[in-house]
């Protein structure tokens, strides 16, 4: 299972479901960095320092960071989706399909309705 680091904007119900599925997930809130307007670059550095794949809804900025700094342990960018169990299942499937997440950018987009 994957070691994940969820950004401040990432839904806690998805984090909880990913944990239930066996992933090791920490949140930025659990690290004590929430509410401090931590820059995206620093968020990614924190994930890298802990050898974790970053989970975020902040697609635009982290896609840009991936392009400029590909040495990371993976970035999973997602769209907003109220189907939290479904979103967690799609992320889990993408992780399983990718295998090694190192240096990968994964898009966890909501399926068309």
> Residues 51-109: pLDDT tens digits?
999 999 999 999 998 988 888 999 999 999 999 999 999 999 999 999 899 999 998 87
Q: Are 104 and 74 in contact (CB under 8 A)?
A: yes
Is 68 domain-assigned? yes
86's CB contacts (< 8 A; 6+ apart) are: 111
What is the model's pLDDT at position 113? 63
Name the pLDDT band for 38 (thresholds 50, 70, 90).
confident
Q: What is the pTM of this model?
A: 0.92
Spatial distance between the Cα atoms of 22 and 113, rounded to a whole number of angstroms:
28
Is 104 domain-assigned? yes
The tally of domains found in the chain comes to 1
Instruction: Say which residue, 19 or 112, is predicted with more confidence.
Output: 19
DSSP per-residue letters across 39-78? -HHHHHHHHHHTT-EEEES-HHHHHHHHHH---SS-EEEE
Q: Which CATH number do you get for residue 10? A: 3.40.50
Neighbours of 75 (CB within 10 A): 26
Domain span at residue 16?
Answer: 3-108
Is 113 domain-assigned? no
What is the model's pLDDT at position 35? 79
Name the pLDDT band for 16 (thresholds 50, 70, 90).
very high
């Amino acid at each position: 299972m994957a070691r994940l680091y969820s950004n401040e904007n990432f839904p806690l119900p998805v984090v909880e479901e990913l944990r239930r599925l066996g992933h090791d997930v920490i949140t930025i809130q659990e690290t004590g960095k929430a509410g401090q307007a931590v820059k995206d670059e620093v968020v990614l550095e924190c994930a890298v320092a802990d050898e974790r794949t970053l989970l975020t809804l902040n697609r635009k900025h982290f896609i840009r960071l991936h392009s400029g700094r590909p040495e990371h342990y993976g970035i999973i960018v997602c769209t907003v989706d109220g189907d939290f169990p479904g979103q967690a299942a799609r992320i889990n499937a993408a992780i399983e399909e990718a295998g090694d997440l190192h240096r990968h950018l994964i898009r966890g987009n909501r399926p068309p309705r």
